Amino acid sequence: MSDIITVKNLVEVYSDGTKAVDDISFNVQEGEFFGFLGPNGAGKSTTIKILTTLLRKTSGTIKVAGLDIFNDAAQIRKIIGVQSQETTVDGDLTGRENITLQGHFHQMTTEDIKKRVDELLVLVGLESAAEKRARNYSGGMKKRLDLATALVHKPKILFLDEPTTGLDPQSRSAIWSYLEKLNKENGITIFLTTQYLEEADKLCKRLSIIDAGKIVASGSPSELKADIGADSIRISLENCSRDNAKAKELIKTMNNVNQIVDSEECITVYAKNAGLLIADIVRALDSSDIRISSVTFSQPSLDDVFMKHTGKRIRTEELVKAPSAIWGGARR
């Protein structure tokens, strides 16, 4: 498969001196579902704005469908669809009118627009709300309408900037299924940014993890997770500051332990077959009078990948839901 987006050494420095994107390179293949995963302020929107010709790059080389981002901007705009982070829905217009208006912007014929609008309303499940003013739509409906308007001219490449941020889980999974359909059935190349690990993991065939303007890791979700090479056990202690060092001493001597790091819970242990180790850890700490408040076990997630490369966690509501709690009380 050939590359449809190539980015080499992209740098973006805003006029106030903020280096939002710091020398990133990546490529997206035709038909691929590609993701940019990173926390707030990582540089995701900046990158997407440059790729969609809305913002001028400071330096670097970018090709979209073989076209130059600066010289061929008008041609690029014809073949891409863009859903920006802020919804662009016009509340005074109905859902149908919003999509129709976008069709006119793309200079489609009235007949083509009508047919396409009907199709899109079905695709995003807004047929029954089509004649309602968009200001009365829920957040999820607005995002779905935004997605439909981005698709009106049948783009080859769809750029989505955090399409599900702030949505409830149900609306989020509805959007996931429309996106998967567009990618699998219609062969649209999708470039998506997200802060949600679960979203990147589920949708993206390949992704780059971005933090503070730099790409810290790239690959398929399974490659990235396999690279961690270990499960994790997160241990929180009743008195972390007092017992942390002693607990680490005890755990260090156990078999199959790869790495022990300080983490927000207190201690995170990376180990092969960590499930087998939990009982040993609990017993050892218990017999040394170190009181544990909880132990959670998880197989590697993209958050562990992020942690490994940045020493931080991506903070989203997904993290509030603890992974399967094996022993002890709730986290935080």
From residue 145, alpha-carbon distances to 99, 163, 184 in Å are 8, 11, 21
Binding site for ligand ADP (CB under 6 A): 14, 16, 18, 20, 38, 40-46
Nearest-approach distance from CB 260 to ligand ADP, in angstroms? 31
Nearest-approach distance from CB 15 to ligand ADP, in angstroms? 7
Closest CA to 227 of 314, 309, 323, 297: 309
- Residue 296 exposed, middle or buried by CB count within 10 Å (0-12, 13-18, 19+): buried
Give the whole-angstrom CA distance, residue 296 versus residue 304: 14
Whichever of 44 and 57 has its CB closer to Mg ion, that residue is 44
Nearest-approach distance from CB 66 to Mg ion, in angstroms? 27
Nearest-approach distance from CB 220 to Mg ion, in angstroms? 23
Give the x/- contact pattern for Mg ion in 84-103, rule: CB under 5 A.
Answer: -x------------------
Whichever of 210 and 247 has its CB closer to Mg ion, that residue is 210
Angle at 225 between CA 274 and CA 9, to 5 degrees: 150
User: Under DSSP, is residue 102 helix (H, G, I), strand (E, B) or coil?
Assistant: helix
Give the whole-angstrom CA distance, residue 198 versus residue 239: 32
Whichever of 36 and 297 has its CB closer to ligand ADP, that residue is 36
Q: What are the tokens at 41?
A: 């302020």
Whichever of 16 and 111 has its CB closer to ligand ADP, that residue is 16
Nearest-approach distance from CB 41 to Mg ion, in angstroms? 8
Whichever of 40 and 186 has its CB closer to Mg ion, that residue is 40
- Distance spanning both ends of the chain, measured CA to CA: 46
- Taking CB under 5 A as the criterion, the residue among 7, 45, 53, 251 binding Mg ion is 45
The footprint of Mg ion (CB under 5 A) covers: 44-45, 85
